Amino acid sequence: MVFPSRLKGTIQGTDIKKRRSLLRRPLFFSITVVISALLLRTTSWSQGSSIYIRVGEATLKKSLIAVPPFQFHGSPAVVKNYDAIGAELYKTVVNDLETTGLFQFLKPDSFLEDPQKTGLTPAPGNPKGFSFENWSSIGTEFLIKSGFTVLSGQLQFETYVYYVPRAKLVFGKKYSGSEKDLRRVAHIFSNDVVKELTGKEGMFLSQVVLSSDRVGKGWKEIYTMDWDGNNLTKISDHRSIAISPAWSPDGNLIAYTAYVFHPNWKSRNADLFLYDLKKGTRKLISARKGINSGASFLPDGSGLLLTLSERGNPDIFRMTLEGTKIWPITFGPRGAMNVEPVMSPDGNHIAFSSDRSGRPMIYIMNRDGAGAKRVTFAGRYNSTPAWSPDGKKLLFAGFDEGHFDIFMMDSTGYNMVRLTTARKMNNNKYSNNEDPVFSPDGRHVMFVSDRTGSKQIYIINLDGTNERRITFDRFNYFKPKWVKSP
């Protein structure tokens, strides 16, 4: 592993918002009936296989897509809330696809035909079908035609994706699931669109765990939510300060730290807990006196990395999931603080932050603690490292010129770029952007920003574009972690 020479002054790097990567065109497969964990059924039709949008090339080109409102194929007299169901389906799909940064959406006033009066399939095969010419003449590359109905609480969603320049069906599917699971239906469809057009997996079934002060009284508890901020669920109830959550690789376990009162010590201690999402059970796995925090799971889920201060200064340890066995990884040096460990996806290296050079900076060491190398050399304070899923990139929050911003670099420490720059809404000062994490597909970054006055969740594409706010309230959120859906 090669590491950079020292840089002085402010954090140097290319402003990634001045760069553009390229997106072009990908794929679709022939798919048979599948059953999801929610017993959602899909039936598929497709016409061969090809790549329509090539992700990750040199220039950004958004594909023009038309997504007319979804047609209701049932009886309004029977399904009185059909308009709300259709609106929620539509909003979820459009938000998913907008987030990819792959598409430019055609406005409905540019449509040359009324999509509510034409079928989901084209003429002349369907006498009431749509005309490809009406869509190609306004520059449409991809057209999504969809309809739905609800029978006895069951949602049926039929949808077709077309590549207009070739008048070709990319894929068609029928989805069936409970009405209450309509957002999951929409996310599964959006994942299918991304997979069929790019050949890459979508991330729309992913989830986030974080800490928040929503309960008031100065307390913080642990919550899970969908990647888009929906289905927020509180999973801790310590009536204290619960912080620094982490997902297990399979998404079934959450480790976090909570300040718990110990009668023997007559004080609160930062204890480490493990919560089982499937069983709904919680257990204390480390209550060593001092800090038991900053946990992150090993890539195979067999144990944890965390920071303990039982010996005095904070150091990094490896621990079994039961908390019964621990192995020290760092030993200072000279009383240095070593915190925020996270192991690379291949399990060979650990990124962490340490003040052993005088200021907190990002370091990488072997999994056994040997060969520690400093990889950031600028700014006053660098923290919260996060690996990309392929292990080639690192994110971190860097304090530079009076505020934190999110930076990304190669895992060698080279090619650093600044992802965020934003001013606060109330005083025009620069905001703090912190706690970065990659999406499970490695194509987005989630982070916390105080630009609105409270710490809210945002995401941004890796090229610095398409920044989007995820939470919209007055509360504060901390240390989000992102994982594929369990």
3-state secondary structure 301-326: CCEEEEEECCCCCCEEEEEECCCCCE
Domain boundaries, the chain: 27-198, 205-483
The pLDDT of residue 60: 63
Q: How far apart are CA 456 and CA 151, in angstroms?
A: 39
Q: What would you report as the CA-atom Rg of the chain, rounded to the nearest whole angstrom?
A: 25
205-483: CATH topology is Neuraminidase (2.120.10)
Q: Which two tokens stand for residue 200?
A: 């890459």
Q: What is the pLDDT of residues 181-192, one digit of tens each?
A: 999 999 999 999
DSSP string, 254-311: EEEEEEEEETTTTEEEEEEEEEETTTTEEEEEE--SSBEEEEEE-TTSSEEEEEE-TT
The pLDDT of residue 41: 61
Cα of first residue to Cα of last residue in the chain, in angstroms, is 34
Q: Which residue has the tokens 């703090």?
A: 432
Q: What is the pLDDT of residues 68-105, one digit of tens each?
A: 999 999 999 999 999 999 999 999 999 999 999 999 99
Q: What is the pLDDT of residues 317-328, one digit of tens each?
A: 999 999 999 999
The pLDDT of residue 47: 62
Q: Which two tokens stand for residue 374?
A: 């400093």
The pLDDT of residue 426: 87
Q: Which two tokens stand for residue 442?
A: 């490695």
Cβ-in-10-Å burial (0-12, 13-18, 19+) of 174 comes to middle
Give the 3-state secondary structure of residue 189.
helix
Q: How far apart are CA 126 and CA 440, in angstroms?
A: 41
Q: Which two tokens stand for residue 218?
A: 């100065």
Q: CA geometry: angle at 482 spanning 478 and 485, to 5°?
A: 135
What residues in the chain have per-residue pLDDT under 70?
1-49, 56-60, 486
Residue 345 in contact with residue 394, Cβ under 8 Å?
A: no
Which amino acid type is present at position 43? T
Residue 309 in contact with residue 327, Cβ under 8 Å?
A: no
Element (H, E) at 470: none
In the chain, how many H helices and how many E strands? 3, 35
Q: What pTM was computed for the model? A: 0.90
Residue 430 in contact with residue 420, Cβ under 8 Å?
A: no
Helices 182-198, 82-100: crossing angle, 10 deg rounding: 30
The superfamily (CATH) of domain 27-198 is TolB, N-terminal domain (3.40.50.10070)
Residue 210 in contact with residue 65, Cβ under 8 Å?
A: no
Closest CA to 132 of 177, 103, 157, 167: 167
